[in-house]
Amino acid sequence: DAALATEQWTEADRSLRELIEKSSGQPASREALLRSGLLNYRKGNYTEAATDLERLLALPQAENNELTARYWLWRALQKSKSDRAARAADDVMTKFPFSYYGLRARIEQGKGTLEWDSTKAKAEKVESKIWVTANEKLAWEKVQMLLKAGWVEEAQAELKELPPALRAEDRAVRSLVWAAAAGFVTASRLANDGWDEKSDLRRAPFTDAAFPREFTDIITTQAAARNVDRDLVRSLIKQESSYNVKATSTSNAYGLMQMIPPTAREIAQDLKLGTLKLPEDMFVPERNIRMGTYYLSRMISKYQGNIPLSLAAYNAGPGRMDKWLRTRPTLKNLASLKSSKPDDELWIDELPYSEPCFYVKAILRNLMLYRLLDKGRVEITEPIWQFSQVKEGPKN
């Protein structure tokens, strides 16, 4: 890792080869094969990169690395002008259709156009019929009563008493009930499970359960005040908290945009909000979104409008990102680079921190899907994440 992080390519290659052979069949070997494939791609050794990645994909228990490996295998085969590149792209789209990389493959296939397939499907009525016990029937009645009264947390507790949703239609309908109870984590999982089984369920209102539009007025106002794309804020909230107002992470990040106490206090001082009461103040949507959007705008300004880099800093912290960038001479101009070409986003998968690597791609995926769901069909321009010019907004 140290050799990779400091671009000592020869030493990194030697260490990776040694790890691959010594840890054969172990998680460390699979990770080393992925890193070796990315390193060979970085060095322009596309045939060797493809070999590493295909070797990884042939191993058992490679699921955690499969999407990344398949995507860069496709790109390596493209660079090699291999006849197998088109098949590799199809594999990415088929196996991971709503991932960032799956959507990128669809964009290329559509020659710059992305279309939501379900807009052509019939919007047939979907029904869910389940057998319930007397206690489960009572729980359902309580759910309806509590939702009418606006007691969403209590409604969520009663929803857990219902029998499991087994059919695709049952999951889709249940996702709407969970969404009505503001349980968007469960709603999203159920909606995704439903439409993975039956593609004609990939339409409203089930897509709304997976991609909420809660707090739209607040988000729109704060995004406009900071010259940040509204859909970027929505996408970040979905990834950070799944729209759970009281979300609390293991690192004590709070609320919709997951503010940690030191950052929250710093922002409160910038915005002249006075002394914060934590965590309670971070569970107030208006305040959390105002502070989170302000902080996001600061990251975007710091990294000169490079959205993926700004998101990585939002998640990992600008200090950690700056430290990593200083060790990577080839990335010294990354902040000023306004490009989403594959080679210019290789750094995302080279990050030594697993969480921001996944995080950045998840938000870019959310960003494209929110746009797509709103419009049904979008023309993608380069860079694909730069939907609007971002400028630093006023501090208060």
pLDDT of residue 118: 52
DSSP string, 85-139: HHHHHHHHHHHSTTSHHHHHHHHHHTTTEEE-GGGGS------------HHHHHH
Q: Are 238 and 366 in contact (CB under 8 A)?
A: yes
User: Torsion-angle region of residue 319: left (phi > 0), alpha (psi -120 to 50) or beta?
Assistant: alpha
Q: Where do the structural domains in the chain lie, given as residue ranges?
A: 1-96, 134-210, 216-379
pLDDT for position 376: 86
Distance CA 4, CA 15 (A): 10
The per-residue pLDDT for 354 is 84
**Do 331 and 311 touch, CB atoms closer than 8 A?**
no
CATH 1.25.40.10 assigned to 1-96: yes
What is the SS3 assignment for 377? strand
| Mean pLDDT per 10-residue section of the chain, whose length is 396 residues | 84 94 89 97 98 96 94 99 98 95 95 74 76 95 97 96 95 97 95 90 91 96 97 98 95 96 97 96 98 98 97 97 94 94 97 92 96 89 71 40
Helix (H, G, I), strand (E, B) or coil at 378: strand
pLDDT confidence of residue 123:
62
So what's the pLDDT on residue 395? 44
| 350 in catalytic set | no
Query: Which CATH number does the domain 216-379 belong to among 3.40.50.720, 3.40.640.10, 1.10.530.10, 1.10.3720.10?
Result: 1.10.530.10
| Rounded Cα–Cα distance for residues 244 and 182 (Å) | 7
Q: What is the DSSP letter of 59?
A: S
pLDDT in the model for residue 346: 98
pTM, to two decimals: 0.92
pLDDT at position 391: 36
SS3 248: strand
Rounded to whole angstroms, the Cα distance separating 51 from 368 reads 31
- pLDDT given at position 124: 73
> Is it true that the peptide bond before 352 is cis, omega within 30 degrees of 0?
no
> Tell me, what's the pLDDT at 74?
99
Catalytic residue among 158, 240, 345, 350: 240
Q: What is the pLDDT of residue 389?
A: 38
